[in-house]
Amino acid sequence: MLAAATAELPRLFPLMRDARVPLWSKLLTAAAALFVVSPLNVLGDIPLVGFLDDGALLLFILHLFVNFAERSAV
């Protein structure tokens, strides 16, 4: 999953600026990422698990956005 994220991360910012990608998709992705890294985290008190679940969720959000945005931009 980390290898896929390193391939998708460079595509994130051009897709965020692309006018063909729906605005609601951009806003939903940004809101989800902000919610994941916000201090209101249920598992945030557990030392290692809090960072791992945040990282996994951010990678999942990145993957979903890039796949959806590329389909809508084509």
- Averages of pLDDT over runs of 10 residues in the chain (74 residues) are 78 91 93 81 64 83 91 80
The set of long-range contacts for 35-44, using a CB threshold of 8 Å and a minimum separation of 24, is: 36/61
Q: Whole-prediction pTM value?
A: 0.77
For the chain, what is the radius of gyration of the CA atoms?
13
How far apart CA 32 and CA 12 sit, in angstroms, is: 15
Cβ atoms of 73 and 21 closer than 8 Å? yes
Range of the domain at 68: 2-73
pLDDT at 45: 60
pLDDT at 29: 93
The number of distinct structural domains making up the chain is 1
pLDDT at 66: 92
